[in-house]
Amino acid sequence: MATVLKQCKIIIWDECTMAHKHSLEALDRTLKDIKNNDKLFGGTLLLLSGDFRQTLPVIPRSTYADEINACLKSSRLWRNVEKVQLTVNMRVQMLQDPSAETFSKQLLDIGDGKVAVHENTGCITVSRIYICIFIATSDS
């Protein structure tokens, strides 16, 4: 594995937002060591892909603060990350389906905290056109 990593010019890490910051820091130390190079990640380009509106690192019996502290954004390495954002949902654009576009926008609004949360329940209201009820029977 070290031989493969030594030859790598780029590492693509998908769904990185679910990883603990110690994983990123361990990769940095490992690449520096096996490449004998003190540059960040031993000079290897690291492409991180993920959405921080989705699942953060899961830490059993932890508090919300523990999860935030374990997040990649809490790593000392995060200041070196150049952030870029994808702005066009290509899947929705290719479908050319207005309801898919509306649904995609609603998901983004939920993730961005733009949808009102009910005081008493902590729930949100989702448009009825997106609700599909599946009733399991012994035949299904």
Which stretches of the chain drop beneath a pLDDT of 70?
Answer: 129-140
The pLDDT, as a whole number, for residue 99 is 80
The pLDDT, as a whole number, for residue 77 is 97
Look at the pTM and tell me if it is higher than 0.95: no
The pLDDT, as a whole number, for residue 29 is 97
* Residue partners of 110: CB distance under 8 A and separation at least 6: 124
**For the chain, which residues make up each domain, given as ranges?**
1-85, 87-139
Up-side HSE of residue 54: CA atoms within 13 Å toward CB?
9
- Strand-pair category, 45-49 with 10-14: parallel
The pLDDT, as a whole number, for residue 75 is 96
The pLDDT, as a whole number, for residue 136 is 64
The pLDDT, as a whole number, for residue 130 is 66
